[in-house]
A and B are shown apart, each in its own frame.
Chain A
Amino acid sequence: MIWGVLQFPGSCDERDALHACEVHGDGARLVWHESRDLDGVDGIVVPGGFSYGDYLRAGAIARFSPAMEAVAEAAAGGAPVLGICNGFQVLCEAGLLPGALLRNVELRFRCHQVELIDERGGERLSIPAKHGEGRYYAPEEMLDELEGKGQVAYRYAEDHNSNGSVRDIAGVTNERGNVLGLMPHPEHAVDPLTGSTDGLAVFDRVARVAA
């Protein structure tokens, strides 16, 4: 599978994501934010960082980019889309994923290793998280609906929900399951030398939609 990684002004993790995609798939390339053409990639990563400086509101400006229009079309067609951190925020702003990300309950940026539970199989993943606005929020009724439809993809393990996310939610999918967003960074967990390789399981989970 060939991955495309979006690149906005202010993206920080796009090179890490590109590397992770190369490790995971059969190839990967960057997609410039002004490009309406996704260049024939099979799956898309909307990477972390501070697109447009996170000015106005995290993800609020990036969602209007031409590349995001293309991503919305691809997502509607069933293509796998993975939003990481700022990418998760962008996908929520774009309405491709439900809910919103608020400032961490302690009002500080925090970078640390967290443990996640994959809601499907119960698999436990150790992956770094780093964000100041990662507190997942959605209204109660919406949360019940998401849970009912199996759209909660990842939860923080006990004692690992440091940002105050509602119901310990770390990542969600759209109803169809092909769009996944999460706050922790699987692209930073693909090399044993820098921590763990558990992040590859997240890429796998998204890629399986395409299979």
Chain B
Amino acid sequence: MTVGTPKYRELGLTDSEFELIVEKLGREPNDVELAMFSLLWSEHCAYKHSRKLLRRLPTEGERVVMGPGENAGAVDVGKGYAVAFKVESHNHPSAVEPFQGAATGVGGILRDVFAIGARPIAILDSLRFGELDSVRSRHLLDGAVRGIGHYGNSIGVPTVGGEIYFEAPYEHNCLVNAMCIGFAKTADMVRAAAAGPGNAIVLMGASTGRDGIGGASVLASAELDEGDDATKRPTVQIGDPFEESKLVECCLELLAKDLLVSLQDLGAAGLTSSAGEMASAGGVGIDIDVAEVPLREADMEPFEIMVSESQERMLAVVEPERVEEVRATAEKWQTGSAVIGTVTEGGAIRILREGEVVGEMPVEALVDGCPLYDLEPAEPEGWIYGNRTTLEETASPEEELLALLSAPSIASKRWAFEQYDWLVGSRTVRRPEQADAAVLQLPEAGNAIAVSIDGNGRRVACDPYAGTIEAVLECAQNLACVGAEPLGLTNCLNFGNPEKPTGAWQLDRAVTGLADACNALGVPVVGGNVSLYNEGPDGPIYPTPVVAMVGELPDASQVAGNAFVNEGDAIGLIGPFEPNFAGSELAKQRGELKMDLAQPNIADVAAACAIVRDAVRAGKLASVHDVSDGGLAVAIAECSIAGGIGCETNVEHLRERGAQPTEALFGEGPGGFLVSGDRAALEELGAVLVGTVGGERISIGAGDRSLSVSLAEAREAWTSLAARAEGYAA
């Protein structure tokens, strides 16, 4: 600590925030109180730069069971069942220590879901790293993938989907966003509000140590400087999936037996946050005696116990006469349980040590008292992220196609997803890369759900408003590809510093885009998470709203895959796809990125989604794949590679939509579905016929840019990630 700097500033509070705390307490806070305030008043916990913006999002819908404010959102899937879901970032810890950062990211999001009484049934993850030719990026990729696998595999929850992008602006701030899906009987679900003065506060699970102390304020709300890796390592949490596995089973059994009044996970800011939020939600007070908290190290200070981010812990409110039964269940599952406090009347959170008060604060001041800030957005004057040319304009169309197929962001992610158990639970109807969305059957409810997670930061950087709408549309299109109708959406907003004009502008435009897209599609936002200050010495990350959508489909056996199936099938294009060079992967490789992106027509895309959804449900399509990164040519090649069968196609008609030949091949934009099947069926759907399935080559007519590559060359390019992802040599 620098001599002369006030402690509160070291903890991330501003002078005026500190003055406000003094005003609310009527005195200066002691160290315990200061530590607790600094964490709950951090961006990570208080959303002080984003909360006002988030009020723009639509949160209501007839299928919404739980909305924002609970540990996870949930939607009704029929027959008395609900699906819960949430996505959360663990970016800063993963940038410091990727294995544990990603592992505990998974552990944390699982707890959010079983905290509301839902059994976790699937994990998805959305990852961003710097370019793959960077040693650091490969180190982070390898560690994060191993970490996700380690936790998810060991706890028996399948990792069914996700996405990975590699872009230079993530070099110093990788993104690790983990999503969990849960399944519950709606009647068994529980909220997080503490209630009933006199009830016991029971800490379940692992003991409390010094790991992760200060994570929320020191890590998550400050920019990372070069050289920080070593000094910040002690604040990264260590995960133990075995402990969590027991804790899941124990908590679900307690809820099934109706032994808990409420339940809350311990995440960022540990006991401080969960106790504070439970008290705030219930309008009650809480006493916690830190001497009753089982510790890993005997000499921990009260403030350390209150802010520790030791993993695999839950906080429950239990009626006194049920405490013994709760403890017996914990013993059965060989996990910890300790009564550490009491629900009280009035609105104070009191921290005691062996009965002596060491901290006392009004809950309202601690949890809801943090000032909310208005942003001061200003649009940057031009492209702030730089350009790097890796593909010359003189390249042939064949070279361009192979360069795009082997681009790490586009190439097959088999190397990564085969390190995850994607099938445990017997619900996974479509494996990763078999279809555009993950499909999970719900025999209990007699139907199935589909899940997609998307967010192309590069396109959002080109236009935060249009790019964010595209992320929502991409999810909706992916769901349509498997015949699913959206039920709800969650998101994780990964952005740079909101106190800087550009960061503020990106965030403001992106949230507006998210709100407009959700309103137009009629999809409610049931939860979300915000990760700001993702900036390093080279500037901010691409603004990256990661959008995750859950949809419902009546019959999982009717899901089409994305692979061409039958020799002779017609290939068609459905939807208002208008390929554009702006913001495309090809524009990136040519080093021609700038502030520009076509404005999407949400209503037209929604109409196309409905056509495709109905056609899939009716079993009219042999394959369906949305046109995304790399444009139509890449979509065609992916369908061929997946099916092991070539095709003869022509995309020249896209000239009518204003596309030059190169744009017709590789231009990007929302709204396109590449389908195959019976010719008459495709015509009936209004598809523009573009070719026929068959042969050993992928041939695409595009005027003077026509191309033809062998299936083998295309496959080699598309499956090249594994060889490049492993190894640490530059």
Is A54 in contact with B426, judged by CB distance below 8 angstroms?
no
- On chain B, the residues within 8 Å of A135 by CB distance are none
Is A188 in contact with B245, judged by CB distance below 8 angstroms?
no
Say yes or no: A110-B245 contact (C-beta < 8 A), given A16-B426, A53-B154, A130-B423: no
Is B419 in contact with A194, judged by CB distance below 8 angstroms?
no
Say yes or no: A188-B423 contact (C-beta < 8 A), given A49-B156, A54-B154: yes
Is A194 in contact with B242, judged by CB distance below 8 angstroms?
no
| Residue from B155, B418, B425, B426 within 8 A of A111 (CB atoms) | B418
Is B246 in contact with A9, judged by CB distance below 8 angstroms?
yes
B315-358 CB contacts (< 8 Å) to partner A: 333-334
* Complex alpha-carbon distance, A16 and B245, angstroms: 16
* Complex alpha-carbon distance, A196 and B431, angstroms: 13
Say yes or no: A188-B154 contact (C-beta < 8 A), given A9-B246, A110-B418, A111-B418: no
- On chain B, the residues within 8 Å of A13 by CB distance are 156, 424
Is B422 in contact with A188, judged by CB distance below 8 angstroms?
no
Q: Which of B146, B426, B431, B556 gathers the greatest number of chain A CB atoms within 10 Å?
A: B426
A128 at interface by CB-CB < 8 Å: yes
B429 at interface by CB-CB < 8 Å: yes
B421 at interface by CB-CB < 8 Å: yes
Q: Which of B419, B424, B557 gathers the greatest number of chain A CB atoms within 10 Å?
A: B424
A19 at interface by CB-CB < 8 Å: yes
The contact string, 1 if C-beta is below 8 Å from chain B, for chain A 93-119, is 000000000000000111110000000
- Chain A min CB distance to B135 (Å): 19
Please report the total number of A residues contacting B with Cβ < 8 Å.
28
- On chain B, the residues within 8 Å of A191 by CB distance are 426
- Chain B min CB distance to A210 (Å): 25
* Complex alpha-carbon distance, A201 and B441, angstroms: 24
A88 at interface by CB-CB < 8 Å: no
Is A194 in contact with B423, judged by CB distance below 8 angstroms?
yes
Please report the total number of B residues contacting A with Cβ < 8 Å.
32
B113-166 CB contacts (< 8 Å) to partner A: 146, 149-150, 153-156
* Complex alpha-carbon distance, A12 and B242, angstroms: 10
Is B242 in contact with A9, judged by CB distance below 8 angstroms?
yes
A50 at interface by CB-CB < 8 Å: yes
Is A9 in contact with B333, judged by CB distance below 8 angstroms?
yes
Say yes or no: A193-B423 contact (C-beta < 8 A), given A9-B245, A50-B154, A55-B242: no
The closest CB in chain B to the CB of A12 belongs to B156
Say yes or no: A12-B424 contact (C-beta < 8 A), given A53-B240, A54-B154: yes
- On chain B, the residues within 8 Å of A11 by CB distance are 156
B241 at interface by CB-CB < 8 Å: yes
- On chain A, the residues within 8 Å of B246 by CB distance are 9-10
The closest CB in chain A to the CB of B427 belongs to A194
The contact string, 1 if C-beta is below 8 Å from chain A, for chain B 425-466, is 111110100000000010000000000000000000000000
B41 at interface by CB-CB < 8 Å: no
A66 at interface by CB-CB < 8 Å: no
- On chain A, the residues within 8 Å of B424 by CB distance are 12-13, 16, 130, 188
- On chain B, the residues within 8 Å of A15 by CB distance are 425-426
B420 at interface by CB-CB < 8 Å: yes
- Chain A min CB distance to B184 (Å): 15
* Complex alpha-carbon distance, A111 and B425, angstroms: 14
Q: Which of B245, B422, B423, B425 gathers the greatest number of chain A CB atoms within 10 Å?
A: B423
* Complex alpha-carbon distance, A54 and B422, angstroms: 20
The contact string, 1 if C-beta is below 8 Å from chain A, for chain B 381-425, is 000000000000000000000000000000000000111111111
The closest CB in chain A to the CB of B448 belongs to A193
A137 at interface by CB-CB < 8 Å: no
Q: Which of B150, B156, B422, B441 gathers the greatest number of chain A CB atoms within 10 Å?
A: B156
* Complex alpha-carbon distance, A9 and B246, angstroms: 6
- Chain B min CB distance to A196 (Å): 11
| Residue from A10, A19, A193, A195 within 8 A of B245 (CB atoms) | A10
- On chain A, the residues within 8 Å of B153 by CB distance are 12, 50, 109, 111, 130, 132
- On chain A, the residues within 8 Å of B154 by CB distance are 10, 12, 50, 53-54
Is B428 in contact with A194, judged by CB distance below 8 angstroms?
yes
Is B418 in contact with A112, judged by CB distance below 8 angstroms?
yes
- Chain B min CB distance to A49 (Å): 6
* Complex alpha-carbon distance, A24 and B241, angstroms: 31
Q: Which of A9, A54, A111 gathers the greatest number of chain B CB atoms within 10 Å?
A: A111
* Complex alpha-carbon distance, A188 and B154, angstroms: 16
- Chain A min CB distance to B242 (Å): 3
A-B contact pairs, 28 of them (CB 8 A): A9-B246, A10-B242, A10-B245, A12-B154, A12-B156, A12-B245, A12-B421, A13-B156, A15-B425, A16-B425, A50-B154, A50-B241, A53-B240, A53-B242, A54-B154, A54-B242, A108-B419, A109-B153, A110-B418, A110-B419, A111-B153, A111-B420, A185-B423, A188-B424, A193-B441, A193-B556, A194-B423, A194-B426
Q: B residues touching A (Cβ–Cβ < 8 Å)?
A: 146, 149-150, 153-156, 240-243, 245-246, 333-334, 417-429, 431, 441, 556-557
**A16-B424, A110-B418 known, 5 other contacts, Cβ within 8 Å:** A9-B245, A12-B153, A50-B154, A130-B423, A130-B424
Report the 7 A-B pairs with minimum CB-CB distance, sorted nearest first. A12-B156, A53-B242, A50-B154, A16-B426, A130-B421, A10-B242, A111-B421
